[in-house]
Amino acid sequence: MNPRTPAFPSKTPNMGTTIFTVMSALATEKGAVNLGQGFPDFACDPQLLDLVNDAMREGLNQYPPMTGIAPLREAMSAKMQALYGRRYDPVSEITVTAGATQAILTTILAIVHPGDEVIVLEPCYDSYVPNIELAGGVVVRVPLTPGSFRPDFDKIQAAITTKTRAILINSPHNPSGMVWTRDEMLRLQEILDPTNVLLISDEVYEHMVYAPGEHWSAARFEGLAARAFIVSSFGKTYHVTGWKIGTVAAPAPLSAEFRKVHQFNVFTVNTPMQYGLARYMADPRPYLELPAFYQRKRDLFRAGLAQTQFKLLPGEGTYFQCVDISGLSVPEKNLGEAEFCKWLTSEIGVAAIPLSAFYGNGFDQQVVRFCFAKRDETLQLALQRLARL
Ligand code: PMP
Ligand code: GLN
């Protein structure tokens, strides 16, 4: 016998470890305040924990239906109808997923044939491109307008070909915090109207849009909704990013294709948390109050940063704040965003995420992202450290 691990050609030769994992590990190692990876450092509502606990003790611990438990699909349908004015049939049009990450991967696997083109708007969330590549699709990168991060519709229009299968959009936008306006969604609808292009609308930060802005879900536009997979995440909305539960809402024929892949991907998503969330959703206040909750944190964090040499970029939505580092007096500002973030974590004690991580070519614009989903004390401590720069 010659026991050995066979070598094989990597399917993902250029794929490294996600920047979020890298920066969180460094933050832990250096004891830095972690404003890098996006997650709250405060507890969720104890009532939500009680509801999940109750479900477990009631014995709701076996496989749920493949599409998710009916009460959660019904609660999601009712919420989307109340907020976005469109009825998604909970039986045939809403599927519970293991977070938005799985929702997006499964959607892409379900619709993208080898050689199909998929448009992403850069900077974009770091799972999109590897997902498209894994499906054998061709990634077509269209830049958002530099500086403002607003969609450039001439460029989007020019990127659409007969091979385009889908376009992936994300509003509120990670990493920039930009929120698409109604007019922008209408413009997208107009561009897609004569095409067969499908839309994947990543709306995980839907409840983090700050006044006077509004969330213009693709569900609010008939022409977009008819071709859209709308992705939501309970992790973001209820301060439980580690639970990894989300949904995909899509017209029945699209949901049917999604479910074919979903059933052999994860099959189902954990049962007691689905019951806990479904019961918790009976009260709309937690998500209706979320914008005010995060707006206060955003304002506190921005006010503190305004006292430093970081230049603030707009922050219309999400729990991220981007800053321009070009005005800092330290020489490390010229290291490149990624090295600067490592230095900031190690030497100043605050972790951030380089925007270059959201671009295929590592485009460097001297901008880094902070997450302000943190206790006020955490933000104050970070601000004290950042004020030294
Ligand atoms: N999309 C975006 C834009 C995100 O920021 C995140 C956060 N990780 C996800 C998708 C994935 O969400 P989830 O944790 O529910 O998988
Ligand atoms: N969405 C989170 C962020 O952008 C991180 C999620 C992850 O670690 N993959 O920070």
Cα 229 to Cα 204: distance, rounded to the nearest angstrom: 12
Mutation to probe ligand 2, out of 18, 19, 20 (largest number of atoms < 8 A from CB)? 20
pLDDT of residue 198: 98
Q: b/e per residue, 326-347, with b = 16+ CB within 10 A?
A: eebebebbebebbebbbebbee
Mutation to probe ligand 1, out of 174, 180, 240 (largest number of atoms < 8 A from CB)? 174
Residue 220 contacts residue 86 (beta carbons within 8 Å): yes
Task: Name the closest-CA residue to atom 4, ligand 2.
Answer: 38
Q: Could you tell me the CA-to-CA distances from 197 to 163, 165, 183, 219 in Å, in that order?
A: 9, 5, 20, 16
pLDDT of residue 169: 98
List, run by run, the mean pLDDT of 10-residue segments along the chain (389 residues).
93 86 95 96 98 98 98 98 98 98 98 98 96 97 95 98 98 98 98 98 98 97 98 98 98 98 96 98 97 98 97 97 97 96 97 96 95 98 95
pLDDT of residue 18: 87
Give the Å distance between the CA of 161 and the centre of ligand 2: 31
Q: Give me the residues paired with residue 317 across strands.
A: 209
Q: What three-state secondary structure class fits 353?
A: strand
pLDDT of residue 17: 86
Entry pTM? 0.97
Q: What residue ranges in 76-174 does DSSP mark as E strands?
A: 94-97, 117-122, 138-143, 164-170
Cα 347 to Cα 221: distance, rounded to the nearest angstrom: 48
Cα 38 to Cα 233: distance, rounded to the nearest angstrom: 13
pLDDT of residue 15: 83
**300: amino acid identity, one letter:** L
Listed residue (30, 38, 47) closest to 371, CA to CA: 38
Cα 319 to Cα 305: distance, rounded to the nearest angstrom: 15
Cα 9 to Cα 5: distance, rounded to the nearest angstrom: 13
Q: Which ligand is nearest to the CA of 206?
A: 1
Backbone angles phi, psi at 232, to 5 degrees: -125, 160
Give the Å distance between the CA of 194 and the centre of ligand 2: 35
Please tell me if the CB atom of residue 343 comes closer than 6 angstroms to any atom of ligand 2: no
